[in-house]
Amino acid sequence: MRRQTALSLVVASAAMCVAATVCSGTPVAPMAGMHMSASAEPDAGPTRQAYTLNHAFLIELRAVPRPIPFEKYFTLEFVVYDGRHPTKALTDTHLKVTAGMRHGLKHGFAHGMQSTPRIRAKRGLFTVAGMYFHMAGPWTLRVDVERNGRKGTAYFTLPCCGQ
Ligand SMILES: [Cu+2]
């Protein structure tokens, strides 16, 4: 019985290893160089700001740990601007954040996070706690903004994870 348990553990860890390899070894486009390590490409960090696809809002990733920790909780901070006047932070927007990995998908996520992030808003500064990346590779953050019925969606790429 004991030997059988040990064997199933080996199988389980082998399966996890395969999953992690698929994760980090599946770049969206070979030219993007997402599979390069952080040390080989010092510029390949997280997206720091992104317009919503309709250009209604500009979203700034004000704070992100560098590097993002692997299998540890971390926190992000966002500020939202009017897309036409990206100097004054908006304080009356609603924000929704979802994160996942695409694994080659053009739309949506192949899988999400194993945690549920919590957002707190304070005078235009959005703090997203409870972020948790359990796989190595490029993660995609989808940010949905709503203000007085106007909506917008922006995407950030967060590489996981540095040494
Ligand atoms: Cu993955």
Q: Measured in angstroms, how far is the CA atom of residue 12 from the centroid of ligand 1?
A: 17
Task: Give helix then strand counts, H and E, for the chain.
Answer: 1, 10
Q: Measured in angstroms, how far is the CA atom of residue 77 from the centroid of ligand 1?
A: 23
Q: Measured in angstroms, how far is the CA atom of residue 101 from the centroid of ligand 1?
A: 5
Mean predicted lDDT score pLDDT of the chain: 81
pTM listed for this prediction: 0.72
Domain range for 111 is 2-160
DSSP letter for 118, please: E
Please state, as a whole number, how many other Cβ atoms lie within 10 Å of the Cβ of residue 43. 6
- Residue with more model confidence, 35 or 154: 154
Q: Are 80 and 126 contacting, i.e. CB atoms less than 8 angstroms apart?
A: yes
Q: Measured in angstroms, how far is the CA atom of residue 51 from the centroid of ligand 1?
A: 25
- 73 pLDDT exceeds 80? yes
Q: Measured in angstroms, how far is the CA atom of residue 103 from the centroid of ligand 1?
A: 7
pLDDT score of 162: 77
Q: Measured in angstroms, how far is the CA atom of residue 135 from the centroid of ligand 1?
A: 5
Please state, as a whole number, how many other Cβ atoms lie within 10 Å of the Cβ of residue 64. 21
Per-residue model confidence as pLDDT tens digits over 8-40: 443 343 333 333 333 333 333 333 334 444 444
Residue 43 — very low, low, confident or very high, per pLDDT cuts 50/70/90?
A: low
Cα distance between residue 32 and residue 104, in whole Å = 13
- Residue with more model confidence, 87 or 93: 93
- 104 pLDDT exceeds 90? yes
Q: How far is CA 82 from CA 14, 36, 56, 61, 79, in A?
A: 48, 34, 6, 15, 10
The closest alpha carbon to 85, from 60, 58, 59, 53, belongs to 58
Q: Measured in angstroms, how far is the CA atom of residue 113 from the centroid of ligand 1?
A: 9
Q: What are phi and psi of 15, to 5 degrees?
A: -65, -40
- 129 pLDDT exceeds 90? yes
Count of domains observed in the chain:
1
pLDDT score of 132: 98
Cα distance between residue 142 and residue 117, in whole Å = 12
Domain CATH code at residue 108: 2.60.40.10
Q: Measured in angstroms, how far is the CA atom of residue 78 from the centroid of ligand 1?
A: 24
